[in-house]
Structure 1
Amino acid sequence: MAPKFESAELPPYRAIMVVDMKNFSGEKGRDHARITESIPMILRNAFHRCGCAQLWSESRFHGTTGDGYFAGFDTRWTPFLLNPVLSALQDELEYQNRVHGGESAMRMRVSLTAGPVTDSGENWMSDGSGDTRIEAHRMIDSDDARAVLADSSGATCVAGIVSEQVYRDVVLSGYSGEDPGLYVEVGVKVKTFEGKAYLRVPKPSGDILRRGLTRHADAVEAADGAPSATAKDERSRAAPTYVGVETAQGSVGTVVTGEGNTVNSGGGNQFNGVGITGTGPTVLGTNRGPASSEE
């Protein structure tokens, strides 16, 4: 290993595409091997479908992630990975689901970025290593990318997300031949990675047609149906606080009363900073606690 502060040769720039199958963990274990083997076949078919067979055959490196796949390409091919490959993947998944669909349709998240990664030219196990590869995996795991498939119907088979660099160099510069308005900016914060990315959905459906491609974090659910960490944080901060309440029933958060108030807590706790006398607003059913009391 080279010393920490010694210069090292910069690896070549490559376009990195990562795909991830939605709800892979929800499938029966006996089907996992079949699904894992089908993913590169579906990708190859999509490249062939749109006339990019040579591009697929010339991938620099590739490999499985179990519930997904990754592949590296010469950066000159990056525009084609967006257009027409992304839409062709939507078409191929629609076809596969129509012909071979079982209880659940196959749907994929796809991330695309570009940058320096290792490339031996022989598809070694370590090829594709580098911060660029990490960025691709963090983007595909982002709340907004997951929310696209969670909020759409089975008609939406592909949720694409691309890095800020790819959006700037390929989309805004016109190389992908697409209207930049087809992309929606989102923030990505996964583990220690934080950055900007852009969603691209070839065939929107369901709730995303009504609300757009992004939603508030407290509504986002992970692929396994569990709320995301962001959602949990948001909900924990959303506990209600009632100040100067006339009447409140049910489960409430914090009740702050002024002087001269009557508090009937039911099964709740009281925290009174001053003596309470006379009559005043009534608050019923505050937080959990022992038997009711009145002062």
Structure 2
Amino acid sequence: MSQSPTPGPLWPQATAQPWTQSRLLPPYRALLAVDAKDFTGHPSAEHGVISRAVVQLLETSLRRAGLGEIWEDRRFPASTGDGYVFGFDPAFLPFVVHPWLHTLQDVLTEFRVHSLGAAPIRLRVSLHVGPLPDSGDDFDGNGTPRNDTHRLLDSRPVKAVLAASGENVTHVAAILSDRCFQDAVAGGWTGRHPDHFIEVPATVEGKSFEQRAWLYVPAPSGRLYDRRVLGDRVIDDHEGTAPAGAGAQEAARAAGPTVVNRADRGNVNTGTVHGGQHVSNSRTDSRTDVGGDWIGGDRVGGNKAGTVHGNQGDTVHGNKREERHR
């Protein structure tokens, strides 16, 4: 007759179910995770070299930024194959946001210039903070904050902004969780103004994940403000328009960037105009709202439309002010 195994040290330790009793909250840890862009696109023979280089670049950049202590004291570090993740004292979080992200951009730029024959490395970075077990056990660092750190790293906005930027200029694209942003940036603790960051809805394809997050690109280039990068909801919020339905949003993504021409109390022409045009504006308070700012008068000099390729204005033949005679 077989005997039942006796519980011993190999058996999992029983834990209380969530929400059944109060326990001490684990210590707060900041989390830093990076992924190399297009890692799987490189030949298999280069994977080990790139993985090793990512770790070396992280150490070099942290030490150059005066944050060698973070590297020496990193918690539950782990290689992810195409990247690296570790925890650290959240007191250093403002310094990781700045100057480290900018220093990482500089180090990767130098690596690209001086490492002839080496695969170029461009990194996505995610930063988060939250309570995580950290007792020295092999399974430390596991929990929702760590899961969310990796979700942010794989989210659509940070992937899109790195893909849309120039590979010769932009080598780092970072995404901060809202909690990280509120604590370190909005609180005024880091050396970067909140205006350096772009609020985005962080979503991951195939995952039930959506969080408010913040993009930061130390060396921006290319189509950073493309609608497909920021997401329709962010564009709608900035334009003050009502959110479209799900079907309309998907159609907008498929169609690409949308250009809206608007002229309150005026004319907008997208083709060729023959003859004259006349606009009469009669208003007690003759001020024009441009980009949320009230500007006296109706005429504003300069280009207020952003970057436009092609013919932005009207093609007009003849005198616009002359009376049109039949």
Given the two structures, how large is their TM-score scaled by the length of structure 2?
A: 0.63
Residue 140 of structure 1 is aligned with which of 140, 149, 153?
Answer: 153
AA matched with 1:174: G
**Which runs of structure 2 are paired with 1:105-144 in the superposition (5 Å)?**
105-120=120-135, 122=136, 124-144=137-157
What are the Cα deviations for residues 182-219 of structure 1, in whole angstroms up to 9, with x where unaligned? 000000122122210000000001222x64893457xx
Calculate the aligned-residue CA RMSD, in Å.
2.5
**Which runs of structure 2 are paired with 1:202-213 in the superposition (5 Å)?**
202-208=218-224, 211=226
Shift of 1:178: 1.1
Match of 2:276 in 1: none
Match of 2:41 in 1: 26
Q: 1:238 to 1:27 in 2, by over 3 A?
A: closer
Question: Structure 1: how far apart are the matches of 2:120 and 2:161?
Answer: 15
AA matched with 2:99: P
Q: 1:67 to 1:184 in 2, by over 3 A?
A: same
**Which runs of structure 2 are paired with 1:38-77 in the superposition (5 Å)?**
38-77=53-92
Question: Structure 1: how far apart are the matches of 2:80 and 2:138?
Answer: 12
Shift of 1:72: 0.4
Following TM superposition, where does structure 1 have runs of at least 4 consecutive aligned residues deviating by more than 6 angstroms?
236-239
Q: 1:168 to 1:34 in 2, by over 3 A?
A: same
What are the Cα deviations for residues 259-278 of structure 1, in whole angstroms up to 9, with x where unaligned? xxxxxxxxxxxxxxxxxxxx
Q: 1:237 to 1:84 in 2, by over 3 A?
A: closer
Q: 1:16 to 1:203 in 2, by over 3 A?
A: same
Question: Structure 1: how far apart are the matches of 2:253 and 2:189?
Answer: 44
Q: 1:103 to 1:75 in 2, by over 3 A?
A: closer
Shift of 1:45: 0.3
AA matched with 1:38: A
What are the Cα deviations for residues 62-113 of structure 1, in whole angstroms up to 9, with x where unaligned? 1101100001011111111101111111011111111115475210000001
Question: Structure 2: how far apart are the matches of 1:72 and 1:101?
Answer: 32
Q: 1:213 to 1:62 in 2, by over 3 A?
A: farther
Q: 1:91 to 1:17 in 2, by over 3 A?
A: same
8 Å Cα contact 2:29/2:89 also seen in 1: yes
8 Å Cα contact 1:199/1:213 also seen in 2: no
Match of 1:150 in 2: 163
Question: Structure 2: how far apart are the matches of 1:237 and 1:165?
Answer: 28
8 Å Cα contact 2:35/2:82 also seen in 1: yes
The DSSP-based 3-state class of the residue aligned with 1:20 is strand
**Which runs of structure 2 are paired with 1:184-263 in the superposition (5 Å)?**
184-190=198-204, 191-208=207-224, 211=226, 214-216=229-231, 234=250
What are the ranges of 5 or more consecutive residues in structure 1 without an aligned counterpart? 218-229, 240-295
Q: 1:103 to 1:177 in 2, by over 3 A?
A: closer
The DSSP-based 3-state class of the residue aligned with 1:84 is helix
**Which runs of structure 2 are paired with 1:88-99 in the superposition (5 Å)?**
88-99=103-114
Question: Structure 2: how far apart are the matches of 1:5 and 1:145?
Answer: 35
Question: Structure 1: how far apart are the matches of 2:176 and 2:140?
Answer: 21
Match of 2:28 in 1: 13
Question: Structure 2: how far apart are the matches of 1:237 and 1:212?
Answer: 8
Q: How many residues align?
A: 223
Shift of 1:148: 1.0
The DSSP-based 3-state class of the residue aligned with 1:96 is helix
Match of 2:177 in 1: 163
Match of 2:312 in 1: none
AA matched with 1:176: T
AA matched with 1:136: T
Question: Structure 1: how far apart are the matches of 2:198 and 2:252?
Answer: 28
AA matched with 1:6: T
Q: 1:101 to 1:10 in 2, by over 3 A?
A: farther
Question: Structure 1: how far apart are the matches of 2:88 and 2:59?
Answer: 14
8 Å Cα contact 1:184/1:213 also seen in 2: no
8 Å Cα contact 2:201/2:231 also seen in 1: no
Q: 1:138 to 1:237 in 2, by over 3 A?
A: closer
